[in-house]
Amino acid sequence: MRNVTLIPGDGTGPELTAAMRRVVEASGAKVQWEVVDAGEGVMAKHGTPLPKYVLDSVQKTRVAVKGPITTPIGSGFRSVNVALRKEFDLYANIRPCSYMEGVKTPIKNVNLVIVRENTEDLYAGIEHMIGKDAAESIKIITRAGTERIARSAFEYAVKYGRKKVTIVHKANIMKCTDGLFLETSREIAKAYPQIQCEDRIVDNMAMQLVQKPELYDILLCPNLYGDILSDLCAGLIGGLGVAPGANLGKDCAIFEAIHGSAPKYKGMNKVNPTAVILSAALMLEYIGEQDAYERISKAVRQVIAEGKKVTYDLGGTAGTSDMADEMIRVMTKR
């Protein structure tokens, strides 16, 4: 039995993670959840959205599944997501995006993975006001940080039989920071001659993904570009409700959907649980529960392909719990 930290999150997070837990249990995975609360809901009691007991739990288990947590816009506390990534040095953000039969989208030839650097770039949060009428943010790109995320992208390609890595940058304008990212990534690529390597300027990359996503396989991105492009790619495959994510470090990992907490839908049993469930499936693969990972992945695809018990964003009328029930039915039918 493997102990796994579960952070239910804010807004729709608790109902999504509850659905996920039932699906994971039905898969036969040997997982013991250690539930800890973080986010807006604990601010009044603990004075922080990320209490020490959360960090202690992840420190102990070394693997977690996290529901979406609200991040205030413009003021308030900084992102809990970013804080967790920094605390445990989760430098690689892996976001698979692949078309699933049954999703109502005109683009059906998407099968790519965003490999996003997760600790540097503008997300380092080094910013300040200059007087009262100007603000400055410092963009950090290091050779060491780029080397390890580039190596992660090429190792992922080798492990999963991917053929090509595309380095995404804006080195034509940001010649020092993005220039270093591009130069260092190209150096790492030389150790993987069996994997094709190319690069694209980020704005052109956005256009290319909309026009001909079938040409791309793995996108190696600095933090900000990876965040933006992964949402774009999620849009190509049906939306954020079907897009999972993994945050990986040297010996620790946190898995989460890439969407937000959707507080306006809290308690309505309405939001698609697929992204959280697929994120948990990635967690199961990470801890060696390969059979459970495959059972969940197949059940998700079958339920979406059949289209009978899917949520509103997929053209159906099912609720969060109903869709999870259908996935469980598919996994447990004889």
The catalytic residue among 53, 60, 104, 203 is: 203
Q: What is the CB neighbour count within 10 angstroms for residue 286?
A: 14
The catalytic residue among 37, 66, 91, 123 is: 123
Tell me the two tokens of residue 284.
Answer: 């199961």
Q: What values do phi and psi take at 144, rounded to 5?
A: -65, -45
d(CA 237, CA 185): 28
d(CA 30, CA 16): 20
Cα torsion at 101, 107, 108, 109 (round to 10°)? -150
The catalytic residue among 178, 227, 309, 325 is: 227
d(CA 14, CA 10): 7
d(CA 118, CA 256): 14
The residue with tokens 């739990």 is: 57
Catalytic (active site) residue 227: yes
Catalytic (active site) residue 170: yes
Mapped onto helix, strand or coil, the DSSP state of residue 163 is coil
The catalytic residue among 37, 170, 309, 325 is: 170
Which residue type sits at 152? Answer: S
Question: Which residues are annotated as catalytic?
Answer: 123, 170, 203, 227
